[in-house]
């Protein structure tokens, strides 16, 4: 068996980690076995489980493909991704699920495929498939125009509860968007338009529907302290994105339409309040909402540019840099990127460095800080909203015991659908 020696875990323990094929066999001192890597005291973390990406296939491979998206994931320390249903065709039938699941087999990292809800969905065939979750269910239109009304949402949540499948929700309520902002044409107009109140009201509606049906609800990309607090108060879990943690409306003069996404960037005050909830443990998960669009597509007026920013490769590096600067503990980073998503979405093989779990691992040198540059990243879109930010990138990323990424090169192993893996 192969051994990674002298690794520092998130809690500071110095250990050896022994691998039996793709699984962790033991974690301890002076373990016997063949030397695989001497970590020399560098940090070993469980690979990030990013429960919210848009890899764009089928239908928009000019923006991203399963190959480029998963390379970007692997280079950023992400070992499992979960793809969202707003592709073309949308993933709302069993046949559409099968088409995407086939394309996803090109992925370098493990993956889940979500099913979505529209007026034309086919729940009977969809729920026959191994869905990761139902979602993101759109309470307002976003990329793909999959917004649904209250009655269909309630019916979909009811069905998911019967099927014992968790529901993830894009919580914005279009009735509370500010029509006044429509007069403006600057980049900040998008933030003025899609108000914080629209998020809070939609989270409250989602958790009320969930309480009535007994469904497990997870709120996607909460962008305000009010949204996080409403999710928690209603017994739901929530995720926040790196862009809502590290960017605010103050960045829009620089970002222009490249800073347009749903929900939008918020005030600096709200950003800080969301970051405090990450520090305190009120935020369950960091997920990227990796939503690449080409430069040409983004380079349009604020009312015409598509919404969304890439992020799968920079999330863990930004969080590790925050840890290096003392703003977050390594344990919090581990919990929100790996342990919590594994627990919330029932992935018993993933998310922790302990005997019996998959060897989904990331090695980082916490002092090796790099400047984030769009040109160095692997997403097909070729740009990042975090240009010039400091990031701590992985030396290597391993999926089930095989290197998916190592010092600039990608491995040849392929990912598996996590809902088909046996525990």
Ligand X SMILES: NC(=O)N[C@@H](CC(=O)O)C(=O)O
Name the residue nearer to ligand X (CB basis): 220 or 319. 220
Q: Among the candidate windows 23-31, 77-85, 243-251, 363-371, which touches Zn ion by CB under 5 A?
A: 77-85
200 binds ligand X (CB under 6 A): no
Q: Using the rule CB under 5 A, which residue among 64, 110, 289, 335 binds Zn ion?
A: 289
- Whether 378 has a binding-site annotation, put simply, is no
Active site residue 284: no
Residues 84 to 103 in contact with Zn ion, rule: CB under 5 A: 84
Least separation in angstroms between residue 4's CB and ligand X is 36
d(CA 181, CA 321): 36
User: Among candidates 287, 161, 140, 317, which has minimal Cα distance to 222?
Assistant: 287
Cα maximum dimension of the chain: 69
- What DSSP element (H or E) covers 402? strand 402-406
- What DSSP element (H or E) covers 338? none
Name the residue nearer to Zn ion (CB basis): 321 or 379. 379
- Whether 293 has a binding-site annotation, put simply, is yes
> Is residue 379 within 8 Å of residue 292, measured between CB atoms?
yes
259 binds ligand X (CB under 6 A): no
> In the bound complex, which residue of the shown chain has the CB atom lying closest to Zn ion?
170
d(CA 53, CA 45): 21
Burial of 145 (0-12, 13-18, 19+ CB in 10 A): exposed
Name the residue nearer to ligand X (CB basis): 9 or 265. 265
Name the residue nearer to Zn ion (CB basis): 68 or 222. 222
User: Among candidates 107, 47, 53, which has minimal Cα distance to 316?
Assistant: 47
Q: How many CB atoms neighbour CB 71 within 10 A?
A: 23
167 binds ligand X (CB under 6 A): no
Q: Phi/psi of residue 417, each to 5°?
A: -75, 120
Q: Among the candidate windows 135-143, 176-184, 244-252, 402-410, which touches ligand X by CB under 6 A?
A: 135-143
d(CA 389, CA 279): 20
Q: How many CB atoms neighbour CB 423 within 10 A?
A: 8
d(CA 104, CA 391): 28
Crossing angle of helices 196-213 and 150-163, rounded to 10°? 40
261 binds ligand X (CB under 6 A): yes
401 binds ligand X (CB under 6 A): no
- Whether 18 has a binding-site annotation, put simply, is no
Q: How many residues bind ligand X (CB under 6 A)?
A: 12
- What DSSP element (H or E) covers 220? none
- The item of ligand X, Zn ion, none sharing an interface with residue 143, based on CB under 5 to 8 Å by kind, is ligand X
Q: How many helices (H) and strands (E) does the chain have?
A: 14, 19
- Whether 56 has a binding-site annotation, put simply, is yes
384 binds ligand X (CB under 6 A): no
CB neighbours of 92 closer than 8 A, spacing ≥ 6? Answer: 85, 115, 116, 117, 118, 120, 121, 122, 126
- What DSSP element (H or E) covers 71? helix 66-75
143 binds ligand X (CB under 6 A): yes
Least separation in angstroms between residue 395's CB and ligand X is 30
Q: Using the rule CB under 6 A, which residue among 100, 170, 244, 277 binds ligand X?
A: 170
Name the residue nearer to Zn ion (CB basis): 239 or 416. 239
d(CA 222, CA 229): 10
Residues 52 to 91 in contact with ligand X, rule: CB under 6 A: 54, 86
224 binds ligand X (CB under 6 A): no
d(CA 301, CA 173): 23
- Whether 86 has a binding-site annotation, put simply, is yes
Among the listed residues 50, 284, 289, 335, the single catalytic one is: 289
307 binds ligand X (CB under 6 A): yes
Place of tokens 């409403």: 230
Q: Binding string to ligand X for residues 266 to 305, with x set by CB under 6 A, is what?
A: -----------------------x-x--------------
- Whether 52 has a binding-site annotation, put simply, is yes
Q: Using the rule CB under 6 A, which residue among 68, 195, 262, 397 binds ligand X?
A: 262
User: Among candidates 78, 120, 237, which has minimal Cα distance to 167?
Assistant: 237
Least separation in angstroms between residue 222's CB and Zn ion is 11
Name the residue nearer to ligand X (CB basis): 172 or 360. 172
Which residues of the shown chain bind ligand X in the complex (CB under 6 A)? 54, 86, 136, 142-143, 170, 261-262, 289, 291, 307-308
Give binding residues for Zn(2+) as ranges.
52, 54, 136, 170, 221, 289
Which residues of the shown chain bind Zn ion in the complex (CB under 5 A)? 84, 136, 142, 170, 289
What is the set of active-site residues?
Answer: 289
Give binding residues for substrate as ranges.
54-56, 86, 293
């Amino acid at each position: 068996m192969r051994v990674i020696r002298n690794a520092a875990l998130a809690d500071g323990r110095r250990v050896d980690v022994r691998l039996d094929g793709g699984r962790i066999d033991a974690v301890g001192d002076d373990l016997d076995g063949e030397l695989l890597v001497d970590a020399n005291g560098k940090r070993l973390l469980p690979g990030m489980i990013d429960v919210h990406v848009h890899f764009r296939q089928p239908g928009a491979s000019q923006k991203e493909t399963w190959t480029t998206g998963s390379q970007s994931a692997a280079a950023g320390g992400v070992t499992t991704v979960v793809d969202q249903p707003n592709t073309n065709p949308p993933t709302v039938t069993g046949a559409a699920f099968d088409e995407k699941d086939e394309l996803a087999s090109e992925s370098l990292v493990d993956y889940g495929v979500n099913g979505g809800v529209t007026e034309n969905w086919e729940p009977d065939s969809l729920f026959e498939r191994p869905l990761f979750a139902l979602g993101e269910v759109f309470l307002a239109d976003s990329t793909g125009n999959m917004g649904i009304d209250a009655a269909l949402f309630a019916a979909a949540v009811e069905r998911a509860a019967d099927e014992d499948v968790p529901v993830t929700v894009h919580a914005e309520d279009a009735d509370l968007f500010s029509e006044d902002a429509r007069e403006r044409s600057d980049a900040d107009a998008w933030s003025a338009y899609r108000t914080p109140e629209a998020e809070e009201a939609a989270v409250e509606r989602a958790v009320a529907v969930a309480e009535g049906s007994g469904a497990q609800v997870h709120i996607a990309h909460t962008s305000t302290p009010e949204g996080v607090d409403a999710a928690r108060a209603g017994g739901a879990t929530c995720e926040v994105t790196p862009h809502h943690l590290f960017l605010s409306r103050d960045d829009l003069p620089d970002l222009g339409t490249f800073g347009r996404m749903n929900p939008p960037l918020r005030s600096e005050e709200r950003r800080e309040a969301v970051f405090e909830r990450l520090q305190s443990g009120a935020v369950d998960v960091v997920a990227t909402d990796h939503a690449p669009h080409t430069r040409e597509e983004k380079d349009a007026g604020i009312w015409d540019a598509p919404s969304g920013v890439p992020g799968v490769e920079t999330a863990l590096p930004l969080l590790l840099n925050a840890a290096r600067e003392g703003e977050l503990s390594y344990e919090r980073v581990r919990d929100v990127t790996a342990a919590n998503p594994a627990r919330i979405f029932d992935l018993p093989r993933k998310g922790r460095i302990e005997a019996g779990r998959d060897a989904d691992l990331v090695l980082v040198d916490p002092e090796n800080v790099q400047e984030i540059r769009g040109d160095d990243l692997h997403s097909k879109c070729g740009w990042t909203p975090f240009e010039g930010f400091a990031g701590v990138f992985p030396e290597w990323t391993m999926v089930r015991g095989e290197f998916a990424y190592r010092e600039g090169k990608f491995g040849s192993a392929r990912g598996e659908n996590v809902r088909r893996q046996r525990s």
